[in-house]
Structure 1
Amino acid sequence: MTTAQLTKSFPGLERALYEELGKEGQLKEFREGEIILRKGQFIRSAVLLLEGTIKLYQEDEDGGEFFMYYIQPGEACAVSMICSHEQETSSVLATAATDSTVLLIPLSCMDQWMSHYKSWRQFVIQAYRSRYQELLNTISEIAFRNMDDRLEFYLRKQVKQFGKIIRFTHQEIANDLNSSREVISRLMKKMENNGWVILHRNSIEWIKDDFNAA
């Protein structure tokens, strides 16, 4: 991994830190749908995303999944940072939403860089802060909104991430929202009747004019 590539993906770091990232980081590729982190897995490295999209879920005791948020290129998985530093197991499931390339950073380097590089400390703090805000938004959706509103919030996030053609089935959406396909299909039909979406066989087209991504 060259310094130029790292600078493009993670701007604003010290030059010496780019050199360390290139030297110590391990590149790993994941195909779409592959699991990156499992719940209960011991994490030995922090995960930085270079290319693609990572999708995080929370799992309940019965194996049900609830979509939390996406990680974009140039961002880090805050869960991997916390768990690797504290030598704890992962509390979430992370999968590759698209073909993805990550840079794995050993725990020993993370500790050293926190004391040596101001830009790394700022990068880590920003990762924690942005994920904390995502979690607050998710909690708000679960605690204070009905399924109609939660579905709209969810679809807006998908449009923001992938564009106005959402290539998810109703069952996949139901899995992400920890609901049933029947409930999602009924609500999607209601959205179509209201002129918000057009339903296709294995995709959904968002057509509502006042789109404002969550």
Structure 2
Amino acid sequence: MAAIAQDEDWTTRFTGLSRLEPRIREVLTSRSQVIRVPADTVIFGPGKSPENMLLLLEGTVRVQQLAENGREVVLYRVTAGESCVLTTACMLAYEDYSAEGVAETDIVAAAVPRAVFDDLVSTSKEFRTFVFTAYSRRMTDLFHVIEDIAFRRMDIRLAQKIIERADTGVLKATHAQLAAELGTAREVISRQLAEFQRRGWVTLGRGTVEILDCDALRKLSES
């Protein structure tokens, strides 16, 4: 991770931090470091203790967990203007990570050292509110992920994922990657995509899914 010059007040990019009193904001910015991390870097993993709270300024981080059967499950993504709830939980509980965070793109983030995090959580009501608001919001998202995996039909969830992630009508992802996104086996995704292709809704390429009938996919996703 290579540090870059801090040429702006990055706290303005985060709802809640921009409302910190100037003294607290100065502590946060002066004792933190803005870093760059290249795509595909494993930022944290199971058994490691968090040293910093990362506040994402640019890019996307994918947080995923390896199940007991060896299958990867994507828990959530952290995007610009957000923090990682798993890192927050581990820092608050002084525990090691139980999942993996991977830079899905090149990222720029503000790294807030544990000592600064601990100090501000205990002394600043505004910073504490920022931390727990983000935490509660992401926990709600995780409950939705659990609900989807446990109760929703795979064809509906796959249609939703294709529409959500397709860029200009084409989703660039392997069947294994989609399986990790949806918490299922690659074979299940392959069978469902083959059915979508048979119906004329998509056409499959090497690592791509091209949408041919967006209305049909959207209708299924909303059923």
| TM, length-normalised to structure 1 | 0.85
Aligned residues of 2:56 and 2:110 also touching (Cα < 8 A): yes
Q: Which residue of 2 aligns with 1:31?
A: 38
**Using a 3 Å threshold, how does the CA distance of structure 1 residues 208 and 42 change in structure 2: closer, same or farther?**
same
Query: Is 1:10 matched with 2:25?
Result: no
Q: Give 1:113's match in structure 2, choosing from 117, 120, 130.
A: 120
SS of alignment partner, residue 9 of structure 2: helix
The number of equivalent residue pairs is 211
Give 1:76 deviation, angstroms. 0.4
Within a 5 Å distance, the mapping from 1:57-76 to structure 2 comes to: 57-76=64-83
- Of residues 180, 195, 203, the one that matches 1:190 is 195
Q: In structure 1, give the amino acid aligned to 2:194.
A: K
2:28–2:116 Cα contact (<8 Å) kept:
no
- Please, what TM-score do these two structures have when normalized by structure 2? 0.82
SS in 2 for 1:119: helix
Match of 2:103 in 1: 96
Q: Rate the CA distance shift 1:16–1:208 in 2: closer, same or farther, 3 A.
A: farther
Q: Percent identity?
A: 30
- Indicate if the aligned counterparts of 2:37 and 2:106 stay in contact, CA closer than 8 A: yes
Amino acid aligned to 2:209: I
Which residue number corresponds to residue 208 of structure 1?
214
Task: Determine helix, strand or coil for the equivalent of 2:195.
Answer: helix
Equivalent in the alignment of 2:3:
none
What is the alpha-carbon root mean square deviation over aligned residues?
2.5
CA distance in 2 between counterparts of 1:163 and 1:39 reads 36
Larger radius of gyration between Structure 1 and Structure 2: 2
Q: State the secondary structure of the residue aligned to 1:88.
A: coil
What SS is found at the alignment partner of 2:214? Answer: coil
**Structure 2 residues without counterparts, runs of 5 or longer:** 1-5
Deviation at 1:157, TM superposition (A): 4.1
Deviation at 1:185, TM superposition (A): 1.8
Structure 1 residue runs without a partner (length 5+): none
1:45 is matched with which residue: 46, 52, 60? 52
